[in-house]
Structure 1
Amino acid sequence: MSRREFLRWLALVVGSTWLAACGPLGSEVPGSSGPSGRQGQGGGDQPVRIGYLPITDACPLLVADALGYYRDEGLTVEKPRPFRSWAQIAEAFQARQVNVIHLLMPAALWLRYARGFPARVVAWNHVNGSALTVHPDVRDLADLAGRVVAVPFWYSIHNVVLQLLLRRAGLRPVLGGTGQPRPDEVRLIVMGPPDMVPALAAGQIAGFIVAEPFNALAELQGQGRILRFTGDVWKEHACCVVLLHEEDLQRRRAWAEAVIRAVVRAQLWLRQHRGEAARLLSREGRGYLPQPREALERVFSPDLEPYLQAGVIEHRDWLPPRIDFQPYPYPSYTAELVRRLADTRVEGDTAFLRRLAPGLAARDLVDEGPVRAALEAVGGPRAFGLPGDLERVEVVKA
């Protein structure tokens, strides 16, 4: 994908009024030492500059700040900086305006192998945490025929899962454009997450697939209902991952390891304090997220029984939590994601996917050394309910 195409994506979403208080993309973060973030030749004392989208995907990075875990590691941390879109956060990371971000795992693949940017995945940020939400008049996937559904980014697990579901229903995804889709088609468009609930309410789209808490907001406002949870299609999938610059892993290894220890500690706290997390992060609490506490509680501490009774959750034996947290980046997931992306329609040049070997991506994109060490510091994999050998088989059932 060319820079021109990337900036065209960016132009699609920067008009959003969401997070109007965010600084302009090209501005320097207050107190930073410039776009490179280097403070002296070694750079070991560079501040932690977090970039995030105000969604529940970002919670570990934010909780580590709120509870002082970065400072416990001897790190200097600036106020986390919110962005309006995935395009913005990726662009700011490339410009070195921020140095710790969460990003959609497919977008991380695109950033390293299509853009050639030296980004490395160092941990998963969370698992599950997304859903397909539809207008109340949509009864099943077949009712989406000839209609429009929004995704947050072409390179996203949301797009992958949605297209799996549509194909299962005998529907053909078509990308972008205008006009009425054919009866066997569903038109997919990219839309900023904060615009999705209003667009659904206005009848501009028939549904959206996105991270929480926008699905919860649609439910609370009576504007939509959840048709499927993504974690009920791909068991315990990663959505967002923690990204660092390769240079920081090579030249500032101790700094990078300290960042990951703080994030892993925050994930463990989130698993054990779900109700408190909703209060802390909400607009009624510390205000890291602009959504109300009620919506976040619906995500962190959900009552799954109504979804089971309604058939929204098909794999009862999985009992997928609405969102969960564990940091280990399973190589099997990265490899399977590369294979699935090859069958997923996206805009732009996808030649890099045809050249990319799944096993190579799992080894080259991810640096799992710091997170393995961080896991041991909190009691090992079993502290998160993970197998001791840190191996698994991917389960995908649309």
Structure 2
Amino acid sequence: MANIIIAPGKYIQGQGELDRIGAHIRPLGQRAFVLIGRSGYERMGERLEAGFRAGGCEVHFECFDGECSRTEIERMKAAMARLEADVVVGVGGGKVLDTAKALAYYGGKPVAVVPTSASTDAPCSSLSVLYHDDGVFDRYLQLPSNPNIVLVDTDVVSKAPVRLLVSGMGDALSTWFEARAAADARAVSNAGGQATNAALVLARACYDTLLADGLKAKLAVERRVCTRAVENIIEANIYLSGLGFESGGLAAAHAIHNGLTVAPETRGMYHGEKVAFGTLAQLVLQNAPMDQIEEVLGFCNSVGLPTTLAGLGLADADMETIRAVAEAACVPGGCIYNMPMEITADKVCAAILTADALGRQYK
């Protein structure tokens, strides 16, 4: 089987790049259909419109309804067709961007994504995570290509709530461990082949950057400033993690995240917060060395990522709930089977409970 690595057509990161959005987008099309959340439009609508027009682009804004679901994608498709737009632009968080990517795919248009936080590694990927209208995980939509452009204005991202940056660190935290597990299992990655050495190097660089700069970046963003550490963490959360997970592979950490979505108590938690706990549970599942587990626990506690079920809103969860989470993590064909070992719901349930015990003891 071939080794394959994939990436967005262009990754742009810097201060003030939102003001140059039209110049960046115009090579893709002149009539932009911009998918954006209502609060994002209130904060940035005028600035975005000025940036598009300065680059010679017409622009139409459509407000996102809040869930990356098939219902929302169909609504956007109808609106885009009426306007005869020739390029899709997603501006916002992970679900907005995933919806924009799916919309561009179904509409046969190029797509640019503009994350307003570094809360997930979704921007760079050729993947959209679909949910049902009630927020329960539906399925992964594998797209034929990565976004044409990923545009990151670090001034905007560094002023987003610090919890979003920390959540992105939780998502990025899993990248190295999942890619390494998938490589050990010789699993097929989202790129359609086995991991290249380059993908594994990027995944490891992502983890090393988190350990080196994660706490410094959190403290800076709490003060609404953008330092070199913040720039490094933004790149790790979005680019290194995005390429590392997609061309390296997903495994138990993301599968356990998917399982956690069936518990209503976790609905208020961000994607990366659940993935961080899933990473800890994956290490337990692998019986990783204690010094590795302690390093992950120490990092999570330093930046404020959850390491216990209580931290996810499941302090009072009974065994029936934990069992349901484990079974949902083990759906046939899921990424948990990229682990280099036999997987059963019983083993995943035990790993979740042991991870919770380790988290409580380490605190």
Q: What TM-score results when the alignment is normalised by the length of structure 2?
A: 0.30
The structure with the greater share of residues assigned to helix is 2
Q: What TM-score results when the alignment is normalised by the length of structure 1?
A: 0.28
